[in-house]
Amino acid sequence: MATEAKVQDPGIDLGWLADKIDYRRFQECVHCGLCTASCPTYIETGNENDSPRGRIYLMRAVTDGRLGMSDEVRKHLDLCLDCRACESACPSGVQYGQLIEPFKVAMQQSATGGNRTSLLQKLILHRLFPYSGRVRAALFPARLMQKLGLMDLMDKIGLTKLLPPTVRRMQAMLPKLGATGSRLPEVLPPIGPKRARVALFLGCVADAMYPETNAATARVLQHNGCEVVIPREQACCGAIHYHSGSEAPALEFARKNIATFRPDDFDAIIVNAAGCGAMLKDYAHLLSGPEHDAAKAFVNKVRDVSEFLVQLGPIPPTNPLNTKVVYHDACHLCHAQQIRSQPRQLLQMIPGVELVPLEESEICCGAAGTYNLTQPEMSEQLGRRKMDFIEATGADVVVTGNVGCILQIARKIKERESAMTIAHPMDLLDRAYSGN
């Protein structure tokens, strides 16, 4: 029986991958194809290489030395959103994220020429986004230009078309920036009897662009009897670096957060951004050896805010909002963390809220962290598809639990000049508790 020849130069560090990926993960996939209907890129392209089982086949072939990391293979793997919808659909329990994420790191480490992340993208992704203070400083000119009406004028006369493509896409996604707001105190007391002591993870881009949502989250927790602690030394979760192929800084962020939050001091570590929450909950998988136990103790305390409130037993708000709401499932909330019913349960507690269903609610909107910067064409296709279904609901407000989804959908709302608004579940709950 003939055997396939080994590829002489696989184009990727197979030794590094062997340390990061348990080969049995590949073998768990039985190629049944049940994942294909939930894969956003396969839905759009119909190409088997853009499906989860197709990508697993490609990755395994590269790992076995039967296939080199050609530009074509890179293209199909890079197109993956890492939304993890396939994990929800898979009857065999394949941990797809634990395959594609190390592969993307290895691909970036070995990338040459046009496959490399551009210098501008690297500066934005690695030197700007993970630091909320830097993002706030960088947004100051945009905030001023919005206030003076210059941003709309630049759009109208076409000046924004002169910007580099990455910057132009960022400008298009920029929300209406409010006041920077005052820094949250390090400790916020509970309202009413104390029921829990929690630490609040603020994030980086989310804290810079939507500080009001972090403030709303803190107030909702206070209304539910929580003492809220905001550790000053907390850092980015590391997802931006890790998902763009830069492992070492991501692990340093993980170590810093584990040391800063001291899980034994809190009943829970609360996060309100799906992407950050999924990354924080993955620390025990990323850190091995003597660091693993500390990472596991940290992970055991991490909770999405909706997950925590439902476990705690939420106090019903009393102020009606009288609005029609549609909820979009952020991928890293419903697929990576398996949190679906809790946000809906909280929204349905609000007097006057009519929660309407959304078709394809669990299909990615195309944000996927920084995907809308690195894969703009596919991101656009998925964004249009998502907005078509959202508009069909006739809702007044679309609600979702991740900053990337909020930015992506807000952009589509703006492009279509829709009267719809977008919010985080905590924004609505905060209004329902406070009456504002």
Residue 152: phi, psi to the nearest 5?
Answer: -65, -35
Domain assignments of the chain as residue spans, ordered by start: 14-115, 316-434
Length of the chain: 436
409/386 Cα distance (integer angstroms): 8
Outline where DSSP puts E strands in 209-328: 226-229, 268-271, 302-304, 323-327
Does the pTM exceed 0.75?
yes
Q: What is the mean pLDDT of each run of 10 residues along the chain (436 residues)?
A: 56 85 91 93 95 95 91 93 93 92 84 61 73 78 78 77 72 72 88 97 88 95 98 92 82 95 95 95 91 96 98 96 96 95 97 96 89 87 96 97 93 92 97 89
374 and 121 Cβ atoms separated by less than 8 Å: yes
CATH of domain 14-115: 1.10.1060.10
Residue 330: phi, psi to the nearest 5?
Answer: -65, 135
82/112 Cα distance (integer angstroms): 22
Beta-sheet pairing, 268-271 with 397-399:
unpaired
66/5 Cα distance (integer angstroms): 7
SS3 state at 297:
helix
Compute the CA torsion angle 356, 361, 362, 367 (nearest 10 deg): -120
214 and 272 Cβ atoms separated by less than 8 Å: yes
DSSP 216-248: HHHHHHHHTTEEEE--TT----SHHHHHTT-HH
pLDDT of 2: 41
Residue 9's Cβ-count burial label (10 Å; 0-12, 13-18, 19+) is: exposed
pLDDT of 1: 35
Residue 422, H or E segment: strand 421-423
For domain 316-434, give its CATH number from 3.40.50.2300, 2.40.30.10, 3.40.630.30, 3.40.50.11810: 3.40.50.11810
Q: What contacts 196, CB < 8 A, 6 or more positions away? A: 225, 226, 227, 267, 268, 312
Per-residue pLDDT tens digits for 223-268: 999 999 999 999 999 998 887 777 888 999 999 999 999 999 999 9
pLDDT of 14: 87
